Amino acid sequence: MTVVPIKGDGRPQMNRSGTGGVPESVPITTYSLTGASLVRLVGDIDLDVVPALQTAFESAAAAHSWVIVDLSRVRIIESVGLSVLVTAGFVARKDGGDLLVAAPPKFLRTARLAATLSVYDTLPQAMTAALRRRNIPTASTATTRRRDGACR
């Protein structure tokens, strides 16, 4: 699987947040995979991050209608961040794709996030689901050749 940053060099953008207006990295990195986009979030998703998050989802959706969101490194998602995720899911489904949420924090699992979004325990599970739902063969399902040259 090829992983390519959608814009720039894949490094997070800069944002002014935190105490005293100290610049911190926006915890968002967007990649283009084969058949889907990956948006990786890190840290706290709060009001300061929402504009960058919306831009990341717009870039990801422009590249692919299937978007995977990796939440494995997220500590807190405020309601405004959750609203952006749900909206991105509606937009992806309207465009014939889906938003797949990978490894959400425990508190989001109890918030019935799966009732609105496609939720997976791990990033590899979400990536595999995106490939299968897009009918892109994975390494385990790809046609292989036997010694006699026949395809399975």
Helix (H) or strand (E) holding 25, with range, is strand 23-25
Pairing of strands 118-120, 14-16: unpaired
4-133 belongs to which CATH class? Answer: alpha beta
Count Cβ atoms within 10 A of the Cβ of residue 110 and give its class: 0-12 exposed, 13-18 middle, 19 or more buried. exposed
The DSSP result for 59-93, as a single string, is HHHHH-SEEEEEEEEEEEE-HHHHHHHHHHHHHHH
SS3 category, 7: coil
pLDDT for res 112: 75
> What's the average pLDDT block by block, 10 residues per block, for the chain (152 residues)?
48 39 62 93 93 95 95 92 94 94 85 83 94 66 36 38
Domain boundaries, given as residue ranges, for the chain: 4-133
pLDDT for res 22: 31
DSSP structure class, residue 133: H
Residues contacting residue 146 through CB under 8 Å, at least 6 positions apart: 152
DSSP structure class, residue 13: P
pLDDT for res 137: 53
Per the CB < 8 A criterion, the answer to whether 126 and 100 are in contact is yes
